[in-house]
Amino acid sequence: MNDPLTDASIEDWVGSALAGLANVRDVRVILAANDEIDGVLVTVGSLAAAEEVRARLTANGRGDGPSISAEQLFLSLPGDAPYRPSTTTRVEVRGVDLLLSGPRARVRVRLGYGERRGVGIESGLAGPERLLRLACLATLVALRDLGAAMDAAVFDSIRLLEPRESRLEHPIVISSFSLVTCGHQQKLIGTAMVRRNDIDAAVRSTLDAFNRCFVLG
């Protein structure tokens, strides 16, 4: 970023650059230990909004405003609502968070089973299919953290089908896995409609695949 700048001037510039863009929930300046501006965190409500924010801010280095590099822009897609206690006997999603920073991404998945909680985090390169893969892998980690008794679970593939392909009203995510339990291997397929966003659907498709077969220890 160009000096001298203050956190207030950065917030004003970002607010101006993102004016009129839907699903932008919050903008915060990240300060380093020496109080210099280290980056900008923008909380959004959809993946489409995240991509638009990235395009607007990292492309605006023409001298009429501060310059934000891809490494200094952090995009957060938090879970939609706080957890509310449930009496369900199935594993449920209690939060899905996505953080995009430059070419990399981090997905955190929070699961619950009654009063028990499991958390899984996976990081890697960003990209539409890679983000879905990270969501599936983070879900597997959260399931193990929750106490799911599985000797080995391996992610195989994931695919996002648009309505023109599935002939359904909403896009759907289809994920497949290989699972080994008690020495037996089986293929599992899970599906979920995209209602909040693609990442959330990837998590739910993973649960759809595993909810019917694993045993919590």
pLDDT in tens, 142-161: 998 888 866 678 899 999 99
First to last CA, the chain: 51
- Mean pLDDT on 200-213: 88
What is the per-residue pLDDT across 117-126, written as a single tens digit (0 to 9) for each? 899 999 999 8
Residues β-bridged to residue 73: 40
Whether this model's pTM surpasses 0.85: no
Given pLDDT bands bounded at 50, 70 and 90, which one contains residue 1?
Answer: very low
Contacts of 199 (CB under 8 A, 6+ apart): 47, 77, 96, 98, 107, 131, 132, 135
Average pLDDT, rounded, for the chain: 80
Per-residue confidence (pLDDT) for residue 189, from 0 to 100 = 92
Residue scoring higher pLDDT (202 or 84): 202
Q: Report the 3 state secondary structure along 16-34.
A: HHCCCCCCEEEEEEEECCC
Task: Tell me the two tokens of residue 169.
Answer: 């009203």
What size, in residues, is the chain? 217
Our CA angle for 138, 68, 52, nearest 5°, is 60
Contact by Cβ (8 Å): 54, 70: yes
Amino acid at 81: A
